[in-house]
Amino acid sequence: MKKLFFLSIFLCSIIACQSQQANEVPKAVATTATTPVPEPTFKVPPHYKGTIPKAGLPIATNYPYNIELTDADGNAFNSSEVFKKNGKPTVILFWLTTCYPCGLELKALKEKYPKWVAEEDFNFYAISTDFQKNYGNFQKRVKDSGWAFETYHDTNRAFSKEMPGNLNGLPQVFIYDAEGNIIYHKRKYRPGEEDKLFEQIIAMK
């Protein structure tokens, strides 16, 4: 009888310990502090002289957007300030300094642009999507070429995330109407296609 009595007490003590541990686990979990996740930050390009917006700042997905731009002198702008909404057609050409067809199209546009703007009133912007390391190449190309149209560098390469098709394959040209709607899109370049571009502008009258 004594053995059964002591065995019963021993088993009860084991069950009580297990019950106590089970009750204590949730308390330990509940009081454990969570490690805060650091807020992501933009990597500031070395040539950029402006201020980088907070990480996660939404980018407008329609014209004139709100994307950071840099000119060949290192001055900072925002596309919402640069891209005009003046009731005129707007042409935006996206290009790279390392893109041979881009160079051909830009050369053709340089020759014909002065005559075009004398005949038709429209906005034209050439936006380089070069990586930060090639910003110096962008500066040299712009200054050596002497283009009459406005040219900027996409500071954070944000347009590739916002434009239809993610700008896969350059050069690419977009034409916007007076309300900022895309009405024409051309990818890559073949000699003579710049004339078709101007025909699209004329057709918007």
The two tokens of residue 9 are 């007490």
86 found inside a domain: yes
What CA–CA distances, in Å, run from 202 to 110, 151, 184? 18, 23, 13
Enumerate residues 6+ apart whose C-beta is below 8 A from 40.
55, 56
What is the CATH classification number for the domain harbouring 123?
A: 3.40.30.10
CA distance 147 to 117: 13
36 found inside a domain: no
Kindly report the pTM of this predicted structure: 0.73
CA distance 111 to 191: 13
Unique residue bearing structure tokens 């541990």 = 21
For residue 96, give its domain range. 68-203
107 found inside a domain: yes
Count of structural domains, the chain: 1
91 found inside a domain: yes
21 found inside a domain: no
In single-letter form, the type of residue at position 204 comes to M
Strand partners, 94: 127, 172
Please give the chain's pLDDT, 205 residues, in tens. 544 444 454 444 444 444 433 443 344 444 444 555 444 344 445 544 444 444 344 556 789 999 999 999 999 999 999 999 999 999 999 999 999 999 999 999 999 999 999 999 999 999 999 999 999 999 999 999 999 999 999 999 999 988 988 899 999 999 999 999 999 999 999 999 999 999 999 998 7
